[in-house]
């Protein structure tokens, strides 16, 4: 049955889907992963200095006592990543409030060969945001000021530690919105988003950060401040240095400020949630969506039954549809609700009329849209309740988008609690998850490197949007040529000759 629920014009804010629990609370509520150094014994600590009293005196003189955290239990949340897959043992967390302080910290660390792990909201999913050993954590969470907002051009300039959802709320008052949106918006920071080149739910419509970030300010390993904080849409003067920092995951510098192009907030938002019998039918719907919804389509997501089940079974969410093998979430953003709703209704009548879609609901009522989005956005959270999750974030040709799920089910067999797939089908980006009761090297070997070889053979990418972080460094060659990797290494050598910035991450050791 297809229901267009009551029309409401304004859209209400979605609640933060990654709760704003403190880092300490988050760790308290679930068991700790084993230390990364024990889980991955082949990775050896680099020849970096060890923090001593003199170093701490310098940091406390610079930042004051309260912004230098050394207490073991207070450091725990900064050492442990969101999905409880990686844990370092740093005993020094620094919380600068401005670019000048970041520059002074990095200059000092460089001179003393102290390794540094930049950290934003710590929602990264590839182990990039936490230390591997005892690296100093440089947290940007106190660098959270909005510098300016030009409401005519839509250019927002802010510090790196601003939480994505706070920026969204600020823009909302001016009828603007952030060009990116992800389930982690309640905790992730814009500096982290830029450093991972985060994708998210509406990349299909608003593009990726390489396009929307107009400029940035960053501090390099030796403490030099690189001011590329342009707010111009067009600026072809020399190399586009901002791209060195977008997506380099804190390995080339610490992003301290960002200026970003923000689109107008849509006056009309509509959402459909559909049930389908096969993945092929998802592809049919996506293709028709592009033609029939055209310029108003803002999101096209696919979810399989096992992925949806973690939100209903573990998190107690309610699905508005009966059980189907597959589901889709399709969102439209436009400026005329009558027009958009009519377009969406016609499209849904077509795909349901010919049996491509079995059942569906559509709504523009804020609370109902929020409830549907939660079913998609909280899958990552729900999966953690299965135990340990081997998470993969791949770009694959659309016809192969879902193929790995079946292959993995066969390879891992009864060792898995669940093998599931969902993701941004509109961008060809699948999130494949193998959930097990607890971390097991045997299961890991059944999955890797096979999964990367498979992806490479199909000319896919081993990281669509989460980055390389710690966990994929040795597999980068499946997506990049030797020459490209050599060039990356040369750039790293030039910008950070002592490799103090986020060591053991991104590039293979
Ligand atoms: C529920 C959930 C849903 C998610 N959905 C998506 C999604 O749809 N799309 C997506 O792309 N990702 C998604 N992610 C992953 C994650 O949220 C993103 O990678 C996000 O951009 C990380 O931001 P952060 O502030 O938490 O960064 P962190 O996790 O703190 O850091 C990530 C990386 O960036 C580096 N870094 C952080 N801040 C800086 C800085 N100022 N300067 C230099 N380096 C820095 C860190 O060293 C690390 O390597 C999701 C995560 C969760 C938990």
pLDDT tens-digit profile, the chain (509 residues): 344 443 333 333 222 334 333 444 444 445 799 999 999 999 999 999 999 999 999 999 999 999 999 999 999 999 999 999 999 999 999 999 999 999 999 999 999 999 999 999 999 999 999 999 999 999 999 999 999 999 999 999 999 999 999 999 999 999 999 999 999 999 999 999 999 999 999 999 999 999 999 999 999 999 999 999 999 999 999 999 999 999 999 999 999 999 999 999 999 999 999 999 999 999 999 999 999 999 999 999 999 999 999 999 999 999 999 999 999 999 999 999 999 999 999 999 999 999 999 999 999 999 999 999 999 999 999 999 999 999 999 999 999 999 999 999 999 999 999 999 999 999 999 999 999 999 999 999 999 999 999 999 999 999 999 999 999 999 999 999 999 999 999 999 999 999 999 999 999 87
Residues of the chain with CATH 3.30.70.2740: 386-468
Tell me how far the alpha carbon of residue 131 lies from the centroid of ligand 1, in angstroms: 15
The answer to whether the CB of 419 falls within 8 A of the CB of 481 is no
Q: Is 250 left (phi over 0), alpha (psi -120 to 50) or beta?
A: left
Probe target for ligand 1 pocket from 98, 118, 123, 199, with the most ligand atoms within 8 Å of CB: 123
**Ligand 1 atom at shortest distance from the alpha carbon of 123:** 26
Task: Establish whether residue 90 lines the binding site of ligand 1, counting it when its CB lies within 6 angstroms of any ligand atom.
Answer: no
**Residues 482, 190: Cα–Cα separation, whole Å:** 31
127 lines ligand 1 (CB under 6 A): no
CA-nearest residue for atom 46, ligand 1, is 129
* Residues carrying CATH 3.30.465.10, the chain: 146-261
Q: Ligand 1 pocket test: pick from 99, 186, 188 the residue with the most ligand atoms within 8 Å of its Cβ.
A: 188
Q: What atom in ligand 1 is closest to the CA of residue 160?
A: 41
Assigned architecture for domain 2-15+266-380: 2-Layer Sandwich (3.30)
Ligand 1 atom closest to Cα of residue 83: 53
Distance set, CA 132 to CA 128, 141, 508 (Å): 9, 20, 14
According to CATH, the topology of domain 23-139 is: 3.30.43
User: Would you say how long the chain is, in residues?
Assistant: 509
Q: Where in the chain is the domain with CATH 3.30.70.2190?
A: 2-15+266-380
Which residues of the chain does CATH 3.30.43.10 include? 23-139
Domain 146-261 has CATH 3.40.109.10: no
Closest among 508, 473, 502, 390 to 131, alpha carbons compared: 502
Inter-residue contact 454 to 407 (CB < 8 Å): yes
Its pTM stands at: 0.94
Instruction: Report whether residue 119 contacts ligand 1, using a CB cutoff of 6 Å.
Output: yes
Distance CA 324, CA 318 (A): 14
CB of 128 closer than 6 angstroms to any ligand 1 atom:
yes
Question: 386-468 maps to which CATH number?
Answer: 3.30.70.2740
Question: Which residues are 344's β-sheet partners?
Answer: none
The CA distance from 249 to 195, in Å, is 5
197 lines ligand 1 (CB under 6 A): no
């Amino acid at each position: 049955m297809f229901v267009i629920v009551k029309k409401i014009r304004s859209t209400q804010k979605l609640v933060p889907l990654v709760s704003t629990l403190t880092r300490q609370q988050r760790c308290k509520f679930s068991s700790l992963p084993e230390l990364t150094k024990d889980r991955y014994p082949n990775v050896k600590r680099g020849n970096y200095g060890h923090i001593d009293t003199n170093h701490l005196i310098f940091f406390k003189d610079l930042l004051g006592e309260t912004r230098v955290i050394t207490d073991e239990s207070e450091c725990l949340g900064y050492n442990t990543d969101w999905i409880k897959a990686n844990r370092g043992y740093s005993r020094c967390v620094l919380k600068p409030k401005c670019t000048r302080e970041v520059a002074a910290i990095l200059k000092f660390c460089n001179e003393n060969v102290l390794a540094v792990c930049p950290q934003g909201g710590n929602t990264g999913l590839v182990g990039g945001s936490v230390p591997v050993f005892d690296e100093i954590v440089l947290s940007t969470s106190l660098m959270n000021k909005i510098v300016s907002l030009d409401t005519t051009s839509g250019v927002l300039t802010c510090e790196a530690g601003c939480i994505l959802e706070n920026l969204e709320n600020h823009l909302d008052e001016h009828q603007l919105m952030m060009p990116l949106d992800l389930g982690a918006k309640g905790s992730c920071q814009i500096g982290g988003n830029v450093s991972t080149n985060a994708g998210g739910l509406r990349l299909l419509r608003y593009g990726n950060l390489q396009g929307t970030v107009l400029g940035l300010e960053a501090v390099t390993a030796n403490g030099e401040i690189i001011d590329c904080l342009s707010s111009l849409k067009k600026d072809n003067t020399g190399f586009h240095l901002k791209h060195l920092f977008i997506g380099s995951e804190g390995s080339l510098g610490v992003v301290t400020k960002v200026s970003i192009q923000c689109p107008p907030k849509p006056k009309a938002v509509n959402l459909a949630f559909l049930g389908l019998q096969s993945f092929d039918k998802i592809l049919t719907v996506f293709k028709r969506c592009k033609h029939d919804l055209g310029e108003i389509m803002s999101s096209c997501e696919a979810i399989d039954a096992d992925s949806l089940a973690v939100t209903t079974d573990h998190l107690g969410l309610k699905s508005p549809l009966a059980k189907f093998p597959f589901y889709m979430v399709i969102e439209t953003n436009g400026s005329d609700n009558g027009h958009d709703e009519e377009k969406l209704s016609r499209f849904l009548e077509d795909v349901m009329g010919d049996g491509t879609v079995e059942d569906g609901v559509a709504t523009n009522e804020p609370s109902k849209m929020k409830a549907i989005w939660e079913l998609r956005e909280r899958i990552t959270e729900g999966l953690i309740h299965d135990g340990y999750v081997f998470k993969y974030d791949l770009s694959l040709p659309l016809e192969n988008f879902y193929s790995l799920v079946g292959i993995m089910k066969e390879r891992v067999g009864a060792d898995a609690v669940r093998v599931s797939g969902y993701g941004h089908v509109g961008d060809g980006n699948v999130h494949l998850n193998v959930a097990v009761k607890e971390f097991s090297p045997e299961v890991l070997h059944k999955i890797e490197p096979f999964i990367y070889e498979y992806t490479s053979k199909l000319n896919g990418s081993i990281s669509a949007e989460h980055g390389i972080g710690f966990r994929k460094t040795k597999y980068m060659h499946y997506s990049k040529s030797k020459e490209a990797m050599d060039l990356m290494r040369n750039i790293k050598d030039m910008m950070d000759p002592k490799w103090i910035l986020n060591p053991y991450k991104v590039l293979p050791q």
